[in-house]
A and B are shown apart, each in its own frame.
Chain A
Amino acid sequence: MRIVLFAALATLFIGFAPVDVKAAGGEVKLDHQEWSFDGVFGRFDRQQLQRGFQVYREVCASCHSLDYIAFRNLEAIGYSEDQTKVLASEYTIEECCDDQGDIFDRPAIPADYIPNPYPNEQFARASNNGALPPDLSLMSKARHGGPDYVYSLINGYPDPDKSTPEMEAELMDGMYYNAVFEGNQIAMAQQLFDDLLEYSDGTDPTAKQMAKDVAAFLHWAAEPKLEMRKQTGVRVLLFTFVFTILAYFLKRRIWADVES
């Protein structure tokens, strides 16, 4: 039937969709993980998101900003409104200006966004060997593989016992070998090691666990509406399906005399 043809054509076009070029250089093999938010009915695991937030705060936030997340957004990962107030108040915001015209400090409120670790780009570069630690709010959507990429990159540092002299020899000054990063040289040293921090919920803080949690957290940071999106989708699709079935039979009835 023509419908099949249309559906096939549509699939063909969509199949061409990820037309991103991987022409030059081979494709990097990412360490694919099972994520709770994958699939038709995907949901975030709030415990995991909170652990991931802890990893971000204690490890990543000293260099990486998270510009698009406000403290009030953290209610979505399981904190109460009061908890977000307390969390926010631990941070200081610079604000203009008092009656003398000077910039003054005030504690953050939930409406504020998580402050940038650096006052400006130049300061950030100067503190990091000329490299700019990118903002992480959208990292999970800005790279192929999304959370798999983030996870694999954080885990992509060579085992110190297994690093070969060749890997060391080719590295430029201040760079580190990473199996996943484009060009295999990254300005960020390995950050996650086993037992680097203690999880408040008692989960064993292995490097892989922390990497997984922070990757999940960053995916939430990039797509906070994911759950709402998929849930709405289920309802919309069911409804549309019912409509389509009804419309089909109605069409058949109306056309019965012509199609005889």
Chain B
Amino acid sequence: MSTEKSWGTQAFDWFEERLPIVSFIDNTVGSKYPAPKNLNYFWNFGALAGFVMVIMILTGILLAMSYTPHVDHAFQSVERIMRDVNSGWLLRYMHANGASFFFIVVYIHIFRGLYYGSYKAPREVLWWLGIIIMLIMMMTAFTGYVLPWGQMSFWGATVITNLFSAIPVIGDEIVTLLWGGFSVDNPTLNRFFALHFLMPFVLVGVVILHVWALHIPGSNNPLGINATPKDKIPFHPYYTAKDAFGLGVFLLVYFTVVFWFPNAMGHTDNYIPANPLSTPAHIVPEWYFLPFYAILRSIDDKLTGVILMFGSILILFVIPWLDTSRVRSATFRPIFRVLFWIFLIDCVVLTWCGAQLPEGIPLILTRVGTFWYFFHFLVLMPVIGWIETPRPLPTSISTPVVAKPAE
């Protein structure tokens, strides 16, 4: 009896011999890729971020087919998308809210990393790539928000580009270079569109590096201890199924916002066409920039504010070394755990502060919040790592765990 393969199988094997795509996928996210078996739902957020990224690129390309990046036509072209383009309203609302959800998902993903020590050796480069991803996301979101050319688009662009004049000596020249003129105007809008279109594809490249860097050591896990082969299960079908479920829950929230609260996270002023001669009463960036906006305005001196704002992100690059603890997961770090929650609350407070006028109580809170932010990383992280007595770590993931402290 011959074990002759079917024609389809033969064709498949012929191709796989020459370009093994399917086995590549199987080895990276399939049944041949082992992952720790104790990952909790906070490990869903990386995959969710990838999914949102795909939605953003799809909707973005389709929107770009109808959008006109010229000051006289931009606002109107967006309204045309909302009213005349088939399903244009859906594309626009998915894209605008998708940006917010991209940040929600990524921020949770980052906080997961902070809590479980995912930034520690040997995952430092993975962590760096993640920060770079966040920076590219921020630049993409910033340039994207300018495109509808509403009041907030214009004035947000004006305020933020003006920041660069704080750079000593060459500040003004840099701002002129950014603007392509003497104020935010058509050249600025046009180049922001070009950059907004470009950066997502750079992002895809960095995401690929990020996943690659992850696959070398494999995923961290809630216990923070190295997972041995017997502690692992194949990514497919366990985590593909879990990610599918997580995706469903995510979509329920996302679609609820897109279909019933599509303007909740936006700003009413952006439905007013940009007017360079009329400044809105309160210029507010989108919510995901608010904590950084707060840090920027915590200090009166412009240059110091700018340095602190960028510093608040750049400091993340060095936390693998700032954190001196040998224990990864906050599960076993009783003091660090408390500090983590305080830090999270600090970020939430800074977010709120970013939307207030920098005066009175909000200003005090902003300054305390900014101080604490840097204090947490520069002082607490190193010191606590030395002085803290971590809880005893389990010997392995598979052995029954001694009563874990409730989280």
Contacts and interface: CB of A to CB of B under 8 A. Distances in A.
A–B touching in complex (CB under 8 Å): yes
B271 A236 contact: no
Majority DSSP secondary structure for residues of B touching A: helix
A3 B83 contact: no
B82 interface: yes
Interface in B245-266: 245, 247-249, 251-253, 255-265
A209 B127 CA distance: 60
Secondary structure at the A interface, as helix, strand, loop or mixed, is: helix
Contact of B242 (A224, A236, A251): A251
A20 B249 contact: no
B259 A233 contact: yes
Nearest to A141: B271
B267 interface: yes
Contacts of A236: 255, 259
A228 to B, nearest CB: 8
Contacts of A258: 37, 233, 238
A225 B82 contact: yes
Interface in A128-150: 137-138, 141-144
Contacts of A255: 238, 241-242
Contact of B249 (A7, A13, A143): A7
A245 to B, nearest CB: 8
A165 interface: no
B401 interface: no
A203 interface: no
Interface string B212-256: 000000000000000000000100011001101101110111011
A24 interface: yes
Interface stretch (B20-28, B53-61, B131-139, B282-290): B282-290
A247 interface: yes
Contacts of A224: 83
Contact of A2 (B41, B255, B348): B41
A75 to B, nearest CB: 13
Nearest to A246: B248
A222 B89 CA distance: 12
Nearest to A73: B83
A172 interface: no
B253 to A, nearest CB: 5
B356 interface: yes
Contact of A254 (B76, B93, B241, B269): B241
Nearest to A249: B245
B355 interface: yes
A18 B287 CA distance: 9
A32 interface: no
Interface in B88-130: 89-90, 93, 104, 108
A239 B104 CA distance: 24
Contact of B83 (A7, A225, A244, A247): A225
A229 B251 CA distance: 16
A40 B259 CA distance: 9
B265 A17 contact: yes
B259 A21 contact: no
A12 B107 CA distance: 13
B41 A232 contact: no
A7 B352 CA distance: 20
A255 B263 CA distance: 39
Given A14-B265, A17-B264, A240 B259 contact: no
Given A7-B249, A243-B248, A247-B244, A19 B352 contact: yes
Contacts of B357: 21, 23-24
Contact of A21 (B233, B241, B253, B284): B284
B287 A233 contact: no
Contacts of B42: 2
A136 to B, nearest CB: 12
B396 to A, nearest CB: 15
Contact of B272 (A3, A142, A144, A233): A142
B237 to A, nearest CB: 5
A64 to B, nearest CB: 14
B248 A247 contact: yes
Given A17-B287, A244-B249, A237 B108 contact: no
Contacts of A248: 245, 248
13 contacts: A9-B108, A13-B104, A16-B348, A19-B284, A138-B271, A138-B272, A142-B272, A225-B89, A237-B259, A247-B244, A247-B247, A247-B248, A255-B241
Interface of B: 37, 40-42, 76, 79, 82-83, 89-90, 93, 104, 108, 233, 237-238, 241-242, 244-245, 247-249, 251-253, 255-265, 267-269, 271-272, 281-282, 284, 287, 290, 348, 351-352, 354-357, 362
- Nearest first, the 3 A-B pairs at minimum CB distance are A233-B259, A244-B248, A2-B41
Given A10-B253, A229-B89, A255-B238, 6 more contacts: A3-B249, A142-B269, A225-B82, A229-B93, A237-B252, A247-B247
